[in-house]
Amino acid sequence: MTHRRTGVLVAAATLVAASAVVGADGTTATAGTTGKPGERRSYTGEIDGAKYRAEVPENWNGTLLLYSHGYYPAGWSPEKTALTNSEEAEKALLDEGFALAASDYKGTYGYAVEDAADDQIALQDWFAEHVGRPERTISTGQSMGGAVAVLLGERNPDRFDGVLAMCAEYDGNGTWNTALDMTYALRTLLVPEADQDIDLVRPRDPERSAKVLETAVDEALKSERGRARLALAGALGNVPGWYSAHEARPVKVADRVRAQAQWLRNAYVAGIGPVGRVDLERRAGGNPSTNVGVDYRRQLAGSAQKELVRKAYREAYREAGAAGSGLSADVAKLNAGGRIAADAKAVAYMKRYSVVRGTTPQPVLTLHNAQDGGAVSDQAGWYAGQVARNGDAGNLRQTYVNRGSHCAFSAADEITALKVLLTKAGTDRWPSTSPRVLNRTVARHEPGLHQVLDLGTFEKKAMPPAFVPFSPARFPRPTR
């Protein structure tokens, strides 16, 4: 789970109209509009304190894409409300006649799934009243917003005609539990005794706690035994050893562990670690995460990364039989450590707002990086299981792109996935979603639509089509 910084977008035309609007439900909205009748129109404003933006092309085809953004950490401000996964996709979709709209949610930052559910519906109502009623509305989103997109479809079945969920975390409560597992392992195995008093939940000094954990990760990378313990911590969350969207998957054990360490440091410590917990616990009314009763030996045994752990320990303990003893000792230390209990009220909050049901009242297409370490692909597999129990499996198709990083999709990837979903929404039949067919479609897009953002370097680079057959591993800590 990590934020996506929007790039520099095309500047809007001069503001020619501004007004205060009161919606039919009594909500207050301030709106600014650019463009003349028959031209592209741009709208910005606020609805009950939530900023929004909408773009309507001259040749609007009647379809609205309502986009839900991902997790933004406190202190980071987007230059402009994001409408898609990339600025290239935004321009291309507008050129093809799609209208785009998105809310930044009240407060913009943190784990804003509850606010997002209300603010996106308020924006949808505003759009219908002040722009026009769409013939078809698709709920889209990425990362945390991918779950919001699915929740909007599940809870408002008559409002949406399809859902495109990109790099989504469908079990948000499970995500925060696995994040706790990993930071607990970092503290237990790598933090010096003098600093063990740091808080993983209910943090009294979140900045210090995060700094201690970050330093522990950095120091552990300097030794083979430290890297082995990093591999163990990452495996508890099934974090893959691939961080870059632009480089090939690492082959050497040490390089794969270094990639895991980047995920641990940047996503699970600096992102949703102690500092992120402050916002989460404020919203949930307490700590929703627990590791009480967790058997870390069993959790490692079920991890898709367990072989990497074993190889890392073999490199760290070269004496005969020592690797297994070293790993067993570290896992025993995790199992013997003090446990953290959750607050029942906060758990109930998370189950209500962050865990999808899988009811699929409309078609859903998921798009995920096979080696995503910020929102592990296990989440997509877990969601498919929920659909099999609670929804219509015929309404779900899942696709995977073979890259590292998080939400590492080109505009061509996103548009290709969207067109597949629209075909199902329009005909009630899925077109082929085989990787071969999808890659052939992606390749037909112009070169400028193949740019992929890498979160490690924050640079873009043209990447070839990379849809692949893929079966995700079991999610380590499912809520249900």
Amino acid 79: pLDDT: 82
* Stretch 118-137: mean pLDDT: 97
Does 160 lie in the same domain as 148?
A: yes
Structural domain includes residue 274 = yes
* Stretch 350-364: mean pLDDT: 97
Does 206 lie in the same domain as 336?
A: yes
Greater model confidence, 26 or 129: 129
Structural domain includes residue 449 = yes
Which percentage of the chain shows pLDDT scores above 90?
88
Does 264 lie in the same domain as 343?
A: yes
Output the average pLDDT for the chain: 92
Q: List CB contacts of 328: < 8 A, sequence separation 6 or more.
A: none
Q: What is the CATH number of the domain that holds 93?
A: 3.40.50.1820
Is the per-residue pLDDT at 19 higher than 80?
no
Does 44 lie in the same domain as 141?
A: yes
For the segment 141-164, what is each residue's pLDDT rounded down to a tens digit? 999 999 999 999 999 999 999 999
Does 435 lie in the same domain as 324?
A: no
For the segment 199-224, what is each residue's pLDDT rounded down to a tens digit? 999 999 999 999 999 999 999 999 99
Considering only the C-alpha atoms of the chain, give the largest distance between any 2 of them, rounded to a whole number of Å: 78
Amino acid 9: pLDDT: 24
Amino acid 30: pLDDT: 55
Domain finish residue from 294, 322, 349:
349
Does 211 lie in the same domain as 130?
A: no
Q: What is the extent of the structural domain holding 148?
A: 20-171+361-462
Structural domain includes residue 282 = yes
How would you list the strands of the sheet with 28-34, edge to edge?
Answer: 17-22, 28-34, 41-47, 50-56, 99-103, 63-68, 136-142, 162-166, 364-369, 396-401
Residue 148's region, left for phi above 0, alpha for psi from -120 to 50, else beta, is alpha
Amino acid 321: pLDDT: 79
Does 54 lie in the same domain as 166?
A: yes
* Stretch 463-468: mean pLDDT: 98
- Own/partner contacts of 125-131, CB < 8 Å, gap of 24 or more, are 125/23, 125/24, 125/25, 126/21, 126/23, 126/29, 126/31, 126/47, 126/52, 127/54, 127/64, 127/99, 127/101, 129/23, 129/24, 130/21, 130/31, 130/43, 131/41, 131/43, 131/54, 131/56, 131/99
Does 135 lie in the same domain as 34?
A: yes
Amino acid 32: pLDDT: 60
Does 185 lie in the same domain as 45?
A: no
Structural domain includes residue 354 = no
Which percentage of the chain shows pLDDT scores above 70?
92
Amino acid 21: pLDDT: 33
Amino acid 20: pLDDT: 29
> What's the whole-model pTM score?
0.91
Does 239 lie in the same domain as 301?
A: yes
273: how many CB neighbours lie within 10 A of its CB?
25
Does 320 lie in the same domain as 410?
A: no
Amino acid 37: pLDDT: 52
**Total number of domains constituting the chain:** 2
Amino acid 176: pLDDT: 98
* Stretch 55-61: mean pLDDT: 97
Is the per-residue pLDDT at 407 higher than 70?
yes
Nearest CA to 433 among 392, 388, 441?
441
Cα 305 to Cα 293: distance, rounded to the nearest angstrom: 22
Structural domain includes residue 5 = no
Structural domain includes residue 408 = yes
Is the per-residue pLDDT at 476 higher than 70?
yes
Structural domain includes residue 477 = no
* Stretch 434-449: mean pLDDT: 98
Minimum mean pLDDT range among 4-13, 175-184, 360-369: 4-13
Amino acid 107: pLDDT: 80
